Structure 1
Amino acid sequence: MDPSDTFLNLLEDDWEARMRFDPLFATSTGNHCFDHLLPRVRQADYDGWYDRLLSFRARLREIDCSQLGPNGRLNYDVYSHFLESEIELHKFHPYRMPISKVSGFHIYFPDLPQQMPFDTIEAYENYISRLEAFREYMDDHMEVMCTGLENGQVPARVTLEGVQAQITAQIVEDPTKSPLYQPFVGFPESISGEERIRLAEKGKEAIQGTVIPAYQVFLRFFNEKYFPASRESIAAVELPAGENYYQACIRYFTSLDLTPEAIHNTGVLEVSRIKAEMEEVIHQSGFQGDFLAFVEFLRTNSRFYVDTPEALLEKTALVLKRMDGELPRLFKTLPRLSYGIRPIPDYSAPQSHAAYYFPGAGDGSRAGYYCVNTYDLKSRPLYEIEALSLHEAVPGHHLQIALQQELDLLPFRRFLSATAFVEGWALYAEKLGLEVGFYQDLYSNFGRLSYEMWRA
């Protein structure tokens, strides 16, 4: 067989296997063949996936990449990198620590209504099937978390503080108050009244009979077994083979073979550079006082804060509407997919970031969303809005991710990504605002530098 055909067959097999291994990921790409399923995430499932990765690598190594065309060689190199870094990281079983206060299945699952289509009866039935499978999904996670406990793989305690409240928020007396009930509040016109009643009742039963009890079980497990066993130390070196694990994480997230020391030294140099720029902004502002006094001024002056979530969302929308108008000056090609703005859900906001981006569907059926944290408004300064919004929405994450998904490329090139590139692009996007008239306010420019300092 021609090497190009052999390589394409490998990529097709890999992609199909990924869809089957993680049906939630499949849904996010626009593949709805597995919308009725949740992933199985037992130790045996991860062991089987690791064996599949090794088989894909063996097949890849049998292909003479010199016989591929220019695009084929590029795809070969990119796929090889993703595959090798995934295999290397998998050796350290990171899936045994699947939760923290900012990520994990316990807060991702309530977002399921935002990820699935609800345009047909079948789509609703698929959703209900996932609700009914949640206890099994929860049990799978607890199994691998127990394996982690047995092998000394437990998260740092500070990363778990607040998780109890996130779990508790899903344990509601009235199932119709669960965020998972939201699809049954508004049906498309194509679904009859009789079917609406049937589906809503079935969904309510699944939430009340399966999902809420599963969260109750998980809450007991977390309180009695998992959280008490968490580490006081935050260092990866405290984990089994911690130094090697950390090095594998560097490779996985940056694509580079750098040492922790080299990365730290780069950070030290960047901190010095950015601090000098921040000092210059303070000087330009005419503020009488040192750096810490200026930071305290920003933290405590009421002019930099709003009193209502609606006001914060409104100011955020104004910033992005301005940037929307400037995008053609910066880019020749823009994504077709639109984006919206919405608050981070109440059940996760207290422990969540200031904002995050929720990608749109890979098939274009759902917009991307810039999610803004409206909890504790006294920690959401206005002088950070420009940098934060440009980072998360446009020209940052939404522009880059939506455009990537719309490119005429193989699926793995459209949906897999390198964290260093994704976050590096968004940091670069913050600075692009300088080229089109943003950060005219000195305090907003200080906010931009604050975010750059945070990364450094």
Structure 2
Amino acid sequence: MTYCRNILAPFAAAIALAFSPAGMAAVDNAAPAPQVSAAPAHKALLTLADQYYDATARFEPVSATENGDNRFDDQLGLSIAPAKRAAQFKLYRQYAQRLQAIKREQLDDKDRINYDILQYELHGLIAMERFPEHLLPISQMDSMPVTLANYAGGEGSQPLGTVKEYEAYLSRISQLPAWIDQAIANMRVGMKKGVTQPQAIMISALPQFKHLVSATPEANIYYTPITKLPAAFSDADKQRLSAAYRKTVNDKLMPALARLATFLEKEYVPACRTTTGLGAVPDGAAWYQARVANATTTTLKPEEIHAIGLKEVVRIQSQFDVLGPKLGYTGPAAGLPVWVAAQAKFYPFKTEDEVQAVYHKLNDVLDTKLPQMFTLLPKARLDLRLEPELSRATASDHYTSPAADGSRPGVFWSVVNDPSKYGSTGMTTLFLHEGKPGHHFHLALMQELGLPNFRKFGGNNAFIEGWALYAETLGKEMGLFDDPAQYFGHLNDEMLRAVRLVVDTGMHAKGWTREQSIQYMKDTLGYDNAAKTETERYMAWPGQALGYKVGSLKIQELRARAQQALGDKFSLPAFHAVVLGDGTVPLALLEAKVDRWIAAQK
């Protein structure tokens, strides 16, 4: 089970609609474009792009931190406040008009990519204004209190190593009570309007928020930095920071966290909807289509994606037919995942360290093999770490980007709740996805390409996750799937991505229930408890999981096209450099770029 926290860019509420009619109309109906200065088009574009990015980063500074931009680590933002949200959308409309006034034909190829992606993002953002994302500020998958709690140990995206960094985190958590009160107010509005989270996922989320409540400030998770004060800090700084953290946690955070936990348990959960999909809320069908467009950067309809998913399930099950006997299984193909899940030999671990040792060994092997496939490599190193305890119960293995200044590496986080239940068959394909050459080769490289900030720290899910899923397929060419058990793990993860297309669209567009999704995942994937966790993830993040398979299929299609067109002239490292060389782009732009490269090679 994989995901990348860098899923929505440039910030969590940004839903790009692939130049949808709604998005275009919203821009076209805005006020007349202001005059552009006499500066060259290049300078005007980069100035606008930087202003746009800084506005989004200040609006959602925690998302900036997650994406490797630590300039705003002392700010929390209050993007869920209706007035701030309205002001932000007004800014987007102004930026769209300024962009429209820049003459695209005066730009070079690199700048035209920047122009097209900025236009794409702005159109999508403006079209998203109608959907009340801010009324759903909390789920079991993500919320501001849990995100900040996960930073408290100093191993997350927000660094805690200097006095200034300690002060930045203190500033940020001191702003959390205001966020909590705004979130409660928003959820009360949502309760009146019928825009709530599904009750099932909030029942799953509730233990997280109860866990944040403590009897004393010293026992509170936000006080953790004080228990890890660096020895190099002066005694005066240690005393000052300790007193400030204790006062903030005791006087501000503890009462606010108690208010939130009580509200969720006593008011919100009982009032939450008992339906499953986003289609059940007002304007839900259009809302889901907007999220689908964001996740896939296409104009595909949910029904089309559902059909693609069903087709992929059949294709992969036909491969299970061939693979099953090699593992000692002789039953029907659909039963292979259930059979593998029941085999003790595929659960060999007793400790977390044994799990980590496998990943470290795989990392070393890949260092010898990947230079044959890639000439474009990131300079940042990759660290391997365990997921913090607070979020392990609901998290999936994932990757976080390095800091832009090189102070923090990229990190592959493995989630080990119970080592004895950590399956070994999926480890190779997981690491190829989350580590090398998946997210790390792409997202770390993004920091090093000299891109404008809105692209360096942004992206779209179809490319980000599509590339990582494509990266998994390279394991076969490297001989990493010669072991039938590891190849099963790869196919089963491919099956997961195909199943996601079926159940996500099933729940949000076709009326499937949570229980239907859980049962389909159990039957198709052999999942037990994970079927519930995965289903509830898709309930909390409608559409997010669709980008993986749609993006991967597009990259595989483009590679096959290039190989057929170029024959002996085809170079895999060169193809990978073309795909990754301009950073994240929508799939239509990627296709056009690869077609230009093919023509040039001919």
Name the structure 2 match of 1:392.
434
The two structures have a TM-score, normalised by structure 1, of 0.94
Q: Say which of 11, 14, 27 aligns to 2:49.
A: 11
**Correspondence for 1:49 among 88, 91, 95:** 88
**Counterpart of 1:329?**
372
Over 3 Å counting, the alpha-carbon distance change for 1:84 and 1:360 in structure 2 is same
Sort the Cα spacing of 1:117 and 1:342 in 2 relative to 1 into closer, same or farther, 3 A. closer
1:343-354 counterparts in 2 under 5 A? 343-353=386-396
CA change 1:308–1:161 in 2 (3 A) is farther
Mapped partners of 2:466, 2:70: distance in 1: 31
Which residue in 2 is equivalent to 1:101? 140
- Supply the AA of the counterpart residue of 2:351: T
Larger CA deviation: 201-210 vs 431-440 = 201-210
Q: Within 5 Å, which residues of 2 pair with 1:93-242? A: 93-112=132-151, 113=154, 114-188=156-230, 190-242=232-284
Aligned mates of 1:37, 1:7 — CA distance in 2: 27
**Aligned position for 2:15:** none
Contact 2:329–2:339, Cα closer than 8 Å, also in 1: no
Q: What amino acid sits opposite 2:440 in the alignment? A: H
Greater relative CO, 1 or 2 (CA 8 Å, sep 6+):
2
Partner of 1:310: 353
The equivalent position to 1:451 in structure 2, one of 493, 496, 499, is 493
State the identity as a percent: 29
CA distance in 1, matches of 2:382, 2:239: 32
Q: Is the 8 A contact 1:28 1:361 kept in 2?
A: no
> How far does the alpha carbon of each residue in 1:59-111 deviate from its partner, in whole angstroms, 9 at most, with x for none?
12222212222222221111111111222223212232122212222321112
Name the CA distance, whole Å, in 1 between partners of 2:419 and 2:406.
Answer: 33
Aligned residue in 2 for 1:66: 105
Name the CA distance, whole Å, in 2 between partners of 1:314 and 1:222: 40
Which moved further from structure 2: 183-192 or 146-155? Answer: 183-192
Contact 2:400 2:411 in 1 (8 A): yes
SS in 2 for 1:382: coil
- Taking the aligned partners of 2:52 and 2:464, their CA distance within structure 1 comes to 23
Mapped to 2, the partners of 1:106 and 1:254 lie a distance apart of 29
| Alignment-derived partner of residue 416 in structure 2 | 374
For structure 2, which runs of at least 5 residues remain unmatched after alignment? 1-37, 499-602
Q: Which amino acid aligns with 2:369?
A: E
Which among 290, 300, 307 is matched to residue 332 of structure 2? 290
How far apart, in 2, do the equivalents of 1:211 and 1:111 lie?
Answer: 15
Corresponding residue pairs, total: 455
Q: Give me the whole-angstrom Cα distance separating, in 1, the residues matched to 2:446 and 2:305.
A: 28
Gap change, CA 1:208 and 1:321, over 3 Å in 2: farther
1:334-358 Cα distance to aligned partner (Å, 9 max, x none) = 11212222222222212222x1112
Contact 1:307/1:377 (8 A) holds in 2: yes
| 2:406 paired residue number | 364
Preserved contact between residue 36 and residue 130 of structure 1 (Cα < 8 Å): yes
| Contact map agreement 2:157 2:400 (CA 8 A) in 1 | no
Q: 1:320 to 1:190 in 2, by over 3 A?
A: same
**For structure 1, which segment, 72-81 or 95-104, has the greater mean C-alpha deviation from structure 2 after superposition?**
95-104
Q: Deviations over 1:357-408 (max 9, x none)?
A: 1222222211222111111445421101111121111111122111112211
Picking from 20, 25, 37, the partner of 2:63 is 25
Describe the SS at the equivalent of 1:231: coil
Cα 1:30/1:450, change in 2 over 3 Å: closer
Contact 1:357/1:397 (<8 A) preserved: yes
Q: Which moved further from structure 2: 174-183 or 237-246?
A: 174-183
TM-score, normalised with respect to structure 2: 0.72
Partner-residue secondary structure (3-state), 1:340: strand
CA separation of 1:325 and 1:177: change in aligned 2, threshold 3 A = farther
In 1, Cα distance between equivalents of 2:68 and 2:389: 27
Confirm or deny: 8 A CA contact 1:85 1:251 kept in the other structure.
no
Q: Decide whether the 8 Å contact of 2:296 with 2:461 is kept in 1.
A: yes
Q: Please tell me whether the aligned partners of residues 319 and 386 of structure 1 are also in contact (alpha carbons under 8 angstroms).
A: yes
Contact 1:42–1:143 under 8 Å retained in 2: no
Q: Structure 2 matches for 1:377-456, cutoff 5 A?
A: 377=419, 379-456=421-498
| 1:230 Cα offset (Å) | 1.9
Distance 2:164 2:359 in 1: 37
Given the superposition, is the C-alpha separation of residues 175 and 336 from structure 1 closer, same or farther in structure 2, using an over 3 Å criterion?
farther
Name the SS of the counterpart of 1:446 in structure 2: helix
Instruction: Report the equivalent of 2:580.
Output: none
Residue type matched to 2:414 in 1? Answer: V
Deviations 1:125-182 (A, max 9, x none): 2221222221112112222222222222112223323211111221233444444333
Greater mean deviation of Cα atoms: 396-405 or 183-192: 183-192
The structure-2 alpha-carbon separation of the partners of 1:351 and 1:446, relative to structure 1 and needing over 3 Å to count, comes to: same
The 1:179–1:340 alpha-carbon spacing in structure 2 relative to 1, beyond 3 Å, is farther
Distance 1:418 1:32, change over 3 A: closer
Pair 1:71–1:23, CA change in 2 (3 A): same
Shift of 1:226: 1.6
Cα distance in 2 for partners of 1:407, 1:433 equals: 26
Once the two structures are TM-superposed, the CA of residue 280 in structure 1 deviates from its matched residue by 1.1
CA pair 30-449 structure 1, distance change in 2 beyond 3 A? closer
RMSD: 2.0
Residues 171-198 of structure 1, C-alpha deviation per residue, up to 9 Å, x if partnerless? 2334444443333233445421231132
In structure 1, distance between residues paired with 2:139 and 2:225: 27
| Separation in structure 2 between the aligned mates of residue 240 and residue 29 of structure 1, nearest angstrom | 32
CA distance in 1, matches of 2:474, 2:94: 43
